[in-house]
Amino acid sequence: MAKIYLKNINKSYDNKAVLKNINIVINEGQLTVLLGPSGSGKTTMLHGIAGMVDFEEGDIFFGDQLMNHVSIDKRNAVLVDQNLLLFPHMTVESNIAFGLKMRRVNKSVIKEKVNELIRLLELEGHEKKFPNELSGGQMQRVAIARALAIEPEVLLLDEPFSKLDIMLRKNMQEFVRALQQKLNITLIMVTHDQEEALSMADQVALLLDGEIKQYTTPNEIYEKPVSKEVADFFGVRNYFEGKISGGEFHSHLGRFSTNLPNCEKITFMFRPEQIGFGEKQKDSIEGIVKRRVYSGDKVVYTIDVRDFHIHVSSFIYKEFNIGDKVYLQANFDKAVYFI
Ligand code: ADP
Ligand code: MG
């Protein structure tokens, strides 16, 4: 196993920069997610690691070894593409055995290895089936088994679950995460789905327009985004703008005590779940319930405060109706802020 180090990577297509000065160390034995919207450069980065694309500037290391000119088949990094590309005329067994046969591995060793992977990927009973006789999730597991057969140092998955329906996607997410932890493989996964990234990853790298904007744990990137554009990517948030003077934050919502020093311009960020409902008291924000969206595990309210809207989420037992007067509590001492 090896950590992967991308150093000062640049890549462009048709004079358009697609990857801009990428610097990242990917930990061995962890699941690292490259997250970003479509077109942000995720696949290009993954293909560069696999050796399918040449970066025009910068270095790529597996451990201490410089890999820039090492060909795909010598990199020991296997990519499972979005389109899976199983061999349609081969059974599940033969698909999994393919890489080992190409490497002229001894037949009995192949048989043992294939059986082990069939068990590991829970494909028992499907050994003799052809790809068109399998469900989406089963095909996915065969593709992963085939990739794992040659015992790669690094497994690369490009949007692996994007074509699966929601239930199957959740199952496969859990399955792949558990498998990665059990085998302790270095896994790099590309996705545009923030929920998938947060729930599966050890580390998330957010890629926007070819740049890594933040690279850290799921908790940290969601709760402590380094910029508004990172905060924006993770969905609904509230921004409160104003200034701080004499231990008070002055904003369009009123004045709030804070322990931050004086500052001419500051923006606080609150996720909907970081604002609570409470009683009328000092520092509470009075508003009227404007909208109420039920989503099973929670309700998201839109609260009108004069001509501003604040989004607040709450567990079901807090029931408010449209038009109710409510008092909101926000802790400005704990909140993320941007200056
Ligand atoms: P993502 O996987 O995040 O959707 P890609 O890495 O596939 O993004 O693409 C990033 C940008 O590079 C896009 O604007 C895409 O059009 C462009 N691009 C990717 N591959 C090629 C290529 N082979 N030739 C020209 N442009 C490409
Ligand atoms: Mg892509």
Bridge partner list, 10? 57
User: What is the overall mean pLDDT for the chain?
Assistant: 92
Element (H, E) at 319: none
Element (H, E) at 200: helix 194-200
Q: How many CB atoms lie within 10 A of CB 6?
A: 20
Q: Ligand 1, atom 15: nearest CA belongs to which residue?
A: 39
Q: Are residues 56 and 138 in the same domain?
A: yes
Q: What is the pLDDT of residue 125?
A: 96
Domain interval for residue 296: 238-338
Residue 1 — pLDDT band, cuts 50, 70, 90? Answer: very low
Q: What is the pLDDT of residue 266?
A: 96
Q: Are residues 281 and 150 in the same domain?
A: no
CA distances 245 to 84, 241, 242, 281, Å, are 58, 13, 10, 22
CA of 210, nearest ligand number: 1
Between residues 207 and 138, the one the model is more confident about: 207
Choosing from 233, 254, 273, the residue where a domain stops is 233
Q: Are residues 261 and 327 in the same domain?
A: yes
Residue 175 pLDDT exceeds 90: no
Rounded distance between C-alpha atoms, residue 158 and residue 161, angstroms? 9
CA 208 and chain centroid, separation: 13
Q: Are residues 21 and 158 in the same domain?
A: yes
**158 C-alpha to center of ligand 1: Å?**
13
13 lines ligand 1 (CB under 6 A): yes
In the DSSP assignment, the letter for residue 108 is: H
Residue 235 — pLDDT band, cuts 50, 70, 90? Answer: confident
Residue 76 pLDDT exceeds 60: yes
pTM of this prediction? 0.89
Residue 83 — pLDDT band, cuts 50, 70, 90? Answer: confident
Q: Are residues 210 and 262 in the same domain?
A: no
**293 C-alpha to center of ligand 2: Å?**
32
Residue 168 — pLDDT band, cuts 50, 70, 90? Answer: confident
Residue 107 pLDDT exceeds 80: yes
Which CATH number characterizes residue 152's domain?
Answer: 3.40.50.300
Residue 68 pLDDT exceeds 90: yes
Q: How are beta strands 275-278 and 325-330 bridged, if at all?
A: antiparallel
Residue 40 Cα: closest atom of ligand 1? 3
Rounded distance between C-alpha atoms, residue 250 and residue 262, angstroms? 11
Of the candidate ranges 26-35, 116-125, 187-196, the one whose mean pLDDT is the lowest: 116-125
What average pLDDT does range 300-311 have in this prediction?
93
CA 163 and chain centroid, separation: 16
**54 C-alpha to center of ligand 2: Å?**
16
Q: Are residues 142 and 46 in the same domain?
A: yes
Instruction: Give, as residue ranges, everything with CB less than 5 Å from ion ligand 2.
Output: 43
Count of structural domains within the chain = 2
Residues 172 and 164: beta-carbon distance below 8 Å: yes
What average pLDDT does range 146-160 have in this prediction?
90
Q: Are residues 91 and 219 in the same domain?
A: yes
Q: What is the pLDDT of residue 317?
A: 66
Q: Are residues 150 and 163 in the same domain?
A: yes
CA of 16, nearest ligand number: 1
Q: What is the pLDDT of residue 306?
A: 87
Choosing from 202, 233, 264, the residue where a domain stops is 233
Q: Are residues 188 and 281 in the same domain?
A: no
210 lines ligand 1 (CB under 6 A): no
Rounded distance between C-alpha atoms, residue 199 and residue 213, angstroms? 19
Choosing from 233, 263, 280, the residue where a domain stops is 233
Q: Are residues 171 and 91 in the same domain?
A: yes
Q: Are residues 137 and 72 in the same domain?
A: yes
Q: Are residues 191 and 215 in the same domain?
A: yes
Which CATH number characterizes residue 320's domain?
Answer: 2.40.50.140
